[in-house]
Amino acid sequence: MAKQQQGGQKAQDVNKESITPRVKDYAQWYLDVVKQAELAEHSGVKGCMVIRPHGYAIWEKMQRELDDRFKATGHVNAYFPLFIPLSYLAKEEKHAAGFAKECAVVTHHRLKTIDGEVQVDPESKLEEPLIVRPTSETIIWAQYKNWIQSYRDLPLLINQWANVCRWEMRTRLFLRTAEFLWQEGHTAHATEPEAIEETHRMLGVYADFAEKVMAVPVVQGAKSPGERFPGALESLCIEAMMQDGKALQAGTSHYLGQNFSKSADVKFLSKEGKLEFPYATSWGVSTRLIGALIMTHSDDAGLVLPPKLAPIQAVIVPIFKGDDEKVRVMQEAEAVFAELKSQGIAVKLDDRDLHPGAKYYEWEMKGVCVRIEIGPKDIEKGSLCLVRRFVVEHEGESEQDLRKRKKTFAPRAEALAGMRALLDEMQQQLFERAKTARARRTRVIDDLADFERFYKEEGGGFAWVHWAGSPEDEDAMAKKYETSIRCIPLADQIPEAARGEGKCIYTGKPSAQRVVMAKSY
Amino acid sequence: MAKQQQGGQKAQDVNKESITPRVKDYAQWYLDVVKQAELAEHSGVKGCMVIRPHGYAIWEKMQRELDDRFKATGHVNAYFPLFIPLSYLAKEEKHAAGFAKECAVVTHHRLKTIDGEVQVDPESKLEEPLIVRPTSETIIWAQYKNWIQSYRDLPLLINQWANVCRWEMRTRLFLRTAEFLWQEGHTAHATEPEAIEETHRMLGVYADFAEKVMAVPVVQGAKSPGERFPGALESLCIEAMMQDGKALQAGTSHYLGQNFSKSADVKFLSKEGKLEFPYATSWGVSTRLIGALIMTHSDDAGLVLPPKLAPIQAVIVPIFKGDDEKVRVMQEAEAVFAELKSQGIAVKLDDRDLHPGAKYYEWEMKGVCVRIEIGPKDIEKGSLCLVRRFVVEHEGESEQDLRKRKKTFAPRAEALAGMRALLDEMQQQLFERAKTARARRTRVIDDLADFERFYKEEGGGFAWVHWAGSPEDEDAMAKKYETSIRCIPLADQIPEAARGEGKCIYTGKPSAQRVVMAKSY
């Protein structure tokens, strides 16, 4: 028996490698969290990840929240083919050029055993190669041709949840992989103003989701021309700051003008009785958001999740010695479980035959918001012991004081009645903490020397700078500082201190407003 | 103005082609319903379909119901790569052979403009070809190698929602397409009995879903050896009968033994301290279920949906002349809408500027369960006019009597309070109607002459026959009658009249139990 348990124990210990601290190696810390929290891992297929159940559960929560918002704004879901004929992709020139270097191409449709070995059957070559969709504008607009005849058919507001493929040589789990999961909205409108309004509406939906659900503050803005989606007239985006000061593009919403309706030859009869090309938008977010979530909130003990996206919001760990205690403690644990469940809280009762310490470690690693420890003493006192996954650190606070604030005791009824409020408070605290962290690494900079110091000596972050340079100037800045224009912020996104006109930090030319520069993922 | 409206009207009339009656051409009727109800259509990619919003909304309802049942039975979702290296697929010999003829193969990863034309870059050839997953056993078991070390890691109960690709030459919307959507469960167990129990449990989940949610009666059974999933030791299935008497396989649950754990070299340390290969199951249902739904319930007026899967359960059509009436009618329509919505009913208020007749036609076509017509007279009388999408026909009933039973009037409060019960009643009626239809086309047959008459003169259906033939005998039957063994029913699935031992209908050899023979999709 001892031998067996050792075997089981050993398998478990493998998962207990500690996490590299952020200050030591931020990139390794990220990978450690992804691995130790069992969110995702590499597969045997180059560049493709496996999203493990705990990671996928977060994605499911994101999907539900986003999908509700898409439907509330009048969109419906549909599904279009995975494969895009090469000739479709080639129709919109810039679009094809933009994705040419990262296309998985299907060329054959059969295998055959030749000389005892399973191989691609050379006789099964397709007449036309098929591209595994990197994005679906061309295949969707080919179908819209059947659906759009009159202005009465507009607006057409469709979203698709799907996998897409962009061949990448250098991959990073969630952030950059050859295959990823996303949603892509594709809408058609009778007029340009309507389409532009839609582009902004969906950017707003993304920003609202990022801030209210992910607790990730974002700057909303437009991409510079060089960073636009291939085929778009304007690309809007939300940009978030990670804990290392780098920016991460968390969602994009594109105004496509008539580029795709023209290349797919889609026309509609307008109210005025004229044949016109409709105006298009497309917008998407992906499993990349899980990367943003991790890098905004998590710490050296593992994953930290905003309660609204936590697959498990509260975990109950029973603590007992001997069978007598076990009966009493389990009875109370089950009662607490039932009470929280009836409140709609995602609660788990961890009754596995493991040491409580191992459970604490695991659920901290996996980002459970609140741990409820229940032992005989708690039952006697009629109280509950709550351990929060995090508290907002006060400056100069000792480890001990911090631990005291994390672990609190409250009368049972009070603790249970207050659980929802506690989770809401933690949701809000994460958002405020992320805003504070971003503010700490944000500068309004007017001078190239200050800019250089910010990135080379002070760790960098978001620099609000005036810009009037050319794309070549942008490249030069990127080469020198590894920074790029993350976005040209929308007017209401510009903080007081960064408003107004000025002179380009690089060229000295007059500039109407500041942009956000940063290193980025 | 007149001209514009004509334009709009024309576009609308295009959609108003009538449906081919079932008696005239069943296959064409099916395609007409799929097209006119805007469920799906062919795309420009050979063999790939587009699932339109109304069809996708049904799939979303199916997904939600199935996913809840998977989670209630302890399963979690995850996501594995779309691409399977050729060498992985080749590991399990029968499996590879089974899918070899229908594989989409990715061979290159880049495009290039050559002589002004976008082409596959010949220099981007992959070292190893990648197969677009036709099913995921091999790629998933390769990953399970990392996750399974000890009996403590078992059972592993994982499901994936995904698209898969099986290259098909002859396609039919929903029933057989090159790409389709499905879920695939892949579980690992420490013992054979546990794995076999899981195989049966998930078959039970499918049968329960088919009968309680889809209102489609099914026979649960095992496939004959020749019809097994490539690599399975046993394939269980649910078989439904379509209105033309043909069988449709609606879901499968496979016991895979140790075939995939062995080919992927996955071992675990058992409770007894020995290294063993785990036992596997896999199980799946797909968008094919939408085809089964259509062919079980729909009629010559279009789609008929069970209330539990109807994206719109009730539609309100306001009827008025002039602005005065409009104000009163719309006020009442909105009140009725709000009341039904608060009951959790999926209700739509159709306030489009169209003739009521056009609306009736459209919503009948799209399978809305109940239509509520609201006009000034209804308001005066304090009553509501309810039109059911279907009533169960009585034999010899006149068209007029049928219409009377479809369209009923009830006091407003009573009609609203009874809406949920009406929908439940309709759900039950569909199931009973389908069972009656199946019974009408089911025979217990002991004689080959009777068998021949059943299929050649009486239209055919399910024949319960004794069988003890060889796979070659099965082939011979298939050639002569176009029938096959749909399943060897589980003991509790066999109706009274078909129980007991007997002699094989084809060979005369002794047989322990009857099987279900039928033509099939």
Instruction: Nearest by CB to A8, from B78, B104, B150: name it.
Output: B150
Residues of B in contact with A85 (CB under 8 A): 44-45
For tokens 């949920």, the residue is B420
Contacts of A15 (CB under 8 A, 6+ apart): A36
* Record: contact A51-B103, CB cut-off 8 A: no
Q: What is the 3-state secondary structure (H, E, C) of A284-347?
A: EEECHHHHHHHHHHCECCECCCCHHHCCCCEEEEECCCHHHHHHHHHHHHHHHHHHHHHCCCCE
Give the other-Cβ count within 10 Å of A342's Cβ: 9
User: Is A13 domain-assigned?
Assistant: no
Cα separation, A173 vs A175, whole angstroms:
6
Domain of residue B449 covers 441-518
- The closest of A234, A222, A171 to A34, measured between CA atoms, is A171
Instruction: Nearest by CB to B120, from A85, A107, A109: name it.
Output: A107
- The closest of B418, B347, B346 to B383, measured between CA atoms, is B418
| A278 and A142 fall within a common domain | yes
Instruction: State both tokens at A442.
Output: 């944000």
Cα separation, A11 vs A33, whole angstroms:
19
Q: What is the average pLDDT across B497-511?
A: 97
B181 forms bridges with which residues in the sheet? B163
Which residue in chain B has the smallest CA separation from A100? B111
Contact A124, A117 (CB under 8 A): no
User: Which of the four pLDDT bands, split at 50, 70 and 90, describes residue A328?
Assistant: very high
User: Residue B76's domain is classified under what CATH number?
Assistant: 3.30.930.10
Residue where one domain finishes, among candidates B275, B297, B319: B297
Can you give the pLDDT at residue A17? 67
Residue where one domain finishes, among candidates B263, B297, B331: B297
User: Is A255 domain-assigned?
Assistant: yes
Q: What is the average pLDDT across A158-177?
A: 94
Q: What is the average pLDDT across B283-311?
A: 98
> Best of B88, B95, B106, B267 to disrupt the A interface by mutation (most A CBs within 10 Å)?
B106
Cis preceding linkage at A193, omega within 30:
no
User: Is B97 domain-assigned?
Assistant: yes
* Residue B18 pLDDT > 90: no
* Residue A341 pLDDT > 80: yes
- The closest of A39, A8, A349 to B153, measured between CA atoms, is A8
Contact A132, A81 (CB under 8 A): no
Cα separation, B129 vs A166, whole angstroms:
17
B442 forms bridges with which residues in the sheet? B462
User: Residue A389's domain is classified under what CATH number?
Assistant: 3.40.50.800
User: Is B24 domain-assigned?
Assistant: no
User: Is B27 domain-assigned?
Assistant: no
- The closest of B264, B123, B121, B247 to B188, measured between CA atoms, is B264
Alpha helix ranges (H) inside B37-149: 53-72, 86-91, 93-99, 137-147
Cα separation, A295 vs A242, whole angstroms:
5
Cα B21–Cα B406–Cα B379 angle in degrees, nearest 5? 135
Contact A268, A190 (CB under 8 A): yes
Looking at the structure of chain B, the number of domains it has is: 3
| B385 and B457 fall within a common domain | no
| B287 and B311 fall within a common domain | no
A221 forms bridges with which residues in the sheet? A237, A489
Name the percent of chain B lying above pLDDT 90.
93
- CA A296 to the chain's CA centroid: 10
Q: What is the 3-state secondary structure (H, E, C) of A43-100?
A: CCCCCCEEECHHHHHHHHHHHHHHHHHHHHCCCEECECCCEEEHHHHHHCHHHHHHHH
Instruction: Nearest by CB to B51, from A56, A79, A105: name it.
Output: A79
Name the percent of chain A lying above pLDDT 90.
93
Measured in angstroms, the CA of A239 and the nearest CA of chain B are apart by 27
Residue where one domain finishes, among candidates B251, B267, B297: B297
| A105 and A254 fall within a common domain | yes
Cα separation, A15 vs A38, whole angstroms:
9
* Record: contact B111-A88, CB cut-off 8 A: no
Can you give the pLDDT at residue B400? 92
* Residue A217 pLDDT > 80: yes
Give the amino acid at B396: G
End-to-end CA distance of chain A: 50
User: Is A305 domain-assigned?
Assistant: no
| A327 and A271 fall within a common domain | no
Query: What is the pLDDT of chain A when averaged over all its residues?
Result: 95
Instruction: Nearest by CB to A100, from B4, B99, B112: name it.
Output: B112
Q: What is the average pLDDT across A154-158?
A: 98
| B152 and B276 fall within a common domain | yes
Cα separation, A58 vs A349, whole angstroms:
19
- The closest of B214, B217, B239 to B227, measured between CA atoms, is B239
Contacts of A468 (CB under 8 A, 6+ apart): A503, A504, A507, A509, A510, A511
Helix (H, G, I), strand (E, B) or coil at B191: coil
* Residue A477 pLDDT > 50: yes
Q: What is the average pLDDT across A294-299?
A: 98
Are β-strands A347-349 and A314-318 bridged in parallel, bridged antiparallel, or unpaired?
parallel
Can you give the pLDDT at residue A18? 85
Residue A346: how many CA atoms within 13 Å on its side-chain side?
Answer: 15
* ipTM of this complex prediction, to 2 decimal places: 0.95
Are β-strands B125-132 and B105-108 bridged in parallel, bridged antiparallel, or unpaired?
antiparallel
Q: What is the average pLDDT across A121-131?
A: 96
Cα B116–Cα B122–Cα B128 angle in degrees, nearest 5? 150
User: Is B436 domain-assigned?
Assistant: no
pLDDT in tens, B355-386: 999 999 999 999 999 999 999 999 999 999 99
* Residue B447 pLDDT > 80: yes
| B130 and B204 fall within a common domain | yes
Can you give the pLDDT at residue A16? 54
Which residue in chain B has the smallest CA separation from A78? B53
| A63 and A188 fall within a common domain | yes
User: Is B57 domain-assigned?
Assistant: yes
| B353 and B379 fall within a common domain | yes
Cα separation, B80 vs A44, whole angstroms:
11
Contact B466, B505 (CB under 8 A): yes
Can you give the pLDDT at residue A1? 31
| B210 and B162 fall within a common domain | yes
Cα separation, A235 vs A219, whole angstroms:
14
| A450 and A504 fall within a common domain | yes
Alpha helix ranges (H) inside B102-212: 137-147, 192-208
User: Which of the four pLDDT bands, split at 50, 70 and 90, describes residue A4?
Assistant: very low
* Residue B11 pLDDT > 50: no
Contact B191, B199 (CB under 8 A): no
Give the other-Cβ count within 10 Å of A506's Cβ: 20
User: Residue A467's domain is classified under what CATH number?
Assistant: 3.30.110.30
- Please give the model's pTM, rounded to 2 decimal places: 0.95
* Record: contact B103-A85, CB cut-off 8 A: no
User: Which of the four pLDDT bands, split at 50, 70 and 90, describes residue B168?
Assistant: confident
In this complex, how many residue pairs, one in chain A and one in chain B, have their CB atoms less than 8 Å apart? 238
Beta strand ranges found along B166-313 (DSSP E) = 179-189, 218-222, 234-241, 247-257, 268-269, 275-276, 279-286
DSSP string of B128-158, one letter each residue: EEEEEPSS-HHHHHHHHHHH-SBGGG--EEE
| Torsion angle defined by CA atoms of residues A36, A37, A39 and A42, in that order, rounded to the nearest 10 degrees | 0
Query: What is the pLDDT of chain B when averaged over all its residues?
Result: 95
| B362 and B222 fall within a common domain | no
Cα B83–Cα B88–Cα B90 angle in degrees, nearest 5? 120
Q: What is the average pLDDT across B164-192?
A: 95
